[in-house]
Amino acid sequence: MTLLALGGMVIGMILGIRFRFIILLPVILVVAVVVVTVALLSGDEATQAVMWLLAISLPIQLGYVCTALVLPYAFASESKKSDEPPAAHSARTQPSP
């Protein structure tokens, strides 16, 4: 179950990087259908199927939210650096005396 939760967290992080919020609901619905179907076909009880569903859907959401919160700050320093011209470039563009 830990591996399932870690996999869900990674999936949520990838979704948080690549897509907007709209993708989260369809992914959770597809995962819910697959997990419940597999759990019921394997002979698990309904409560066990719900536990499997929570074990995968909550880490997906958590990974998505954590990535959405951290991602703007991760690239903030790069955007500040790109606004300033490099030192070698500014030295070449100045007229020579």
Neighbours of 56 (CB within 10 A): 21
H or E element at residue 29: helix 24-41
Nearest Cα to Cα of residue 49 among 7, 57, 3, 8: 57
Q: Can you give the pLDDT at residue 88?
A: 52
pLDDT 10s digits, 11-52: 888 888 887 778 888 888 998 899 889 988 998 888 888 888
pLDDT 10s digits, 52-79: 888 888 898 888 888 888 877 777 766 6
Q: CA-CA distance, 38 to 32, in Å (whole number)?
A: 10
Q: Out of 4-8, 30-34, 56-60, 90-94, which region has the weakest mean confidence (pLDDT)?
A: 90-94
Neighbours of 61 (CB within 10 A): 17
